[in-house]
Amino acid sequence: MTAPDPFAAAAAGAARLAELTGAPRHNVAIVLGSGWAAAADALGPAEATVALTELGAPAPSVLGHQPEVRSVTSGGLRTLVFLGRVHLYEGHSPAAVVHCVRTAVEAGCETVILTNAAGGIADGVRPGQAVLISDHINLTGASPLTGPPPPDGYPSRFTDLTGLYSLRLRAVARAAAPGLAEAVYAGLTGPHYETPAEIRMLRDLGAGLVGMSTVLEAIAARHLGAEVLGISLVTNHAAGLSREPVEHMDVLATGAQAAAGLGSLLAAIVAGVQPT
């Protein structure tokens, strides 16, 4: 059997989104990571709320991820705020993991802001701190561009990832919050946390953050021509660097404590974004 065309599925999702929101086009997409959902309120009231399943996406099964997207006007731009995402470790394919991002770009989003909860590896990063992603190391063993080549009219799947995380958008973020640190994000599949030996390896590779999301979405967004900004909330010191065991509930608690500040940061970034 031929697998469904993920690009056609995203185009259908975008058409359904326009129908349900009454907005033919959106400008910015924000994907909220574990514990980030409470930050959505700072971006403005929802003009429409749509279940992810209405867009052809699977519903998240992980605590801390809500199965819906809000359409809001923030900073003068029509913005999609995804209150959750799905992960490879939930048993989904790479195409399913990136479906919402592809749908957002098909809906007109030229800017994609990806957030996540991450373990801190770099010296000086601490729980509760927001850190810009300067680059990533994809250790998931997967890519959203594997399989049949994209249909006619789409870019080649041989995408250059140089400059994947936009320098322009990182400057916008630093203007909104001077002093934001930057680090390389290592994306692994999870759902288990890493061993101390793996964290030592990641540090030797140059990673300052580690998590279980973001990298596939960033690749998919860049492939379709969107500018990408990545922001991690450091929720814990990585394995071997923490005195306490790493627990998912602690990740969510740190996100809840930081929610107000994170929401204000996102709102300020969107206000500083100008369409490309």
Quote the pLDDT of residue 258. Answer: 80
What burial class does residue 221 get, using C-beta atoms within 10 Å of its C-beta: 0-12 exposed, 13-18 middle, 19+ buried? buried
Please give the full DSSP string across 61-111, using - where no structure is assigned.
Answer: -STT--SEEEEEEETTEEEEEES----GGGT--HHHHTHHHHHHHHTT--E
- C-alpha 210/C-alpha 151 separation (Å) is 33
Best CATH choice for the domain 6-272 from the list 3.40.50.1580, 3.90.1150.10, 3.30.1360.70, 3.40.50.1000: 3.40.50.1580
What burial class does residue 214 get, using C-beta atoms within 10 Å of its C-beta: 0-12 exposed, 13-18 middle, 19+ buried? buried
Q: Which of 183, 207, 212, 239 is catalytic?
A: 212
Which tokens belong to 266? 């996102």
Contact 127, 237 (CB under 8 A): yes
| Torsions phi, psi for 231 (to 5 deg) | -135, 125
Active site residue 27: no
**For the chain, which ranges sit under pLDDT 70?**
1-3, 275-276
C-alpha 204 chain-centroid distance: 25
| Torsions phi, psi for 44 (to 5 deg) | 115, 165
Domain borders along the chain are 6-272
Quote the pLDDT of residue 242. Answer: 73
Quote the pLDDT of residue 162. Answer: 97
Q: Which of 38, 138, 177, 248 is catalytic?
A: 248
Contact 44, 70 (CB under 8 A): no
Quote the pLDDT of residue 259. Answer: 78
Which tokens belong to 47? 């003009």
Quote the pLDDT of residue 2. Answer: 41
What's the mean per-residue pLDDT of the chain? 93
Q: Which of 39, 71, 87, 186 is catalytic?
A: 87
- C-alpha 142/C-alpha 218 separation (Å) is 13
Which tokens belong to 137? 């190391």
Nearest-5° Cα angle at 118, 207 to 64:
160
pLDDT tens readout for residues 116-161: 999 999 999 999 999 999 999 999 999 999 999 999 999 999 999 9
- C-alpha 101/C-alpha 163 separation (Å) is 18
Active site residue 34: yes
Segment (H or E) for 113: strand 111-120
Q: Which of 9, 37, 57, 117 is catalytic?
A: 117
Quote the pLDDT of residue 31. Answer: 97
| Torsions phi, psi for 2 (to 5 deg) | -80, 130
Contact 31, 115 (CB under 8 A): yes
Could you tell me the pTM of the whole model?
Answer: 0.95
Quote the pLDDT of residue 241. Answer: 86
Site of tokens 């400059």: 163
Q: Which of 71, 74, 116, 213 is catalytic?
A: 213
Active site residue 156: no
Quote the pLDDT of residue 1. Answer: 30
Active site residue 236: yes
- C-alpha 7/C-alpha 226 separation (Å) is 15
Q: From 52, 27, 86, select the one nearest 270 (Cα to Cα).
A: 27
Active site residue 198: no
Active site residue 136: no
**Residues facing 50 on adjacent strands:** 69
Hey, how many other C-beta atoms are within 10 angstroms of the C-beta on 243?
5
pLDDT tens readout for residues 35-69: 788 889 999 999 999 999 999 999 998 877 889 99
- C-alpha 169/C-alpha 228 separation (Å) is 8
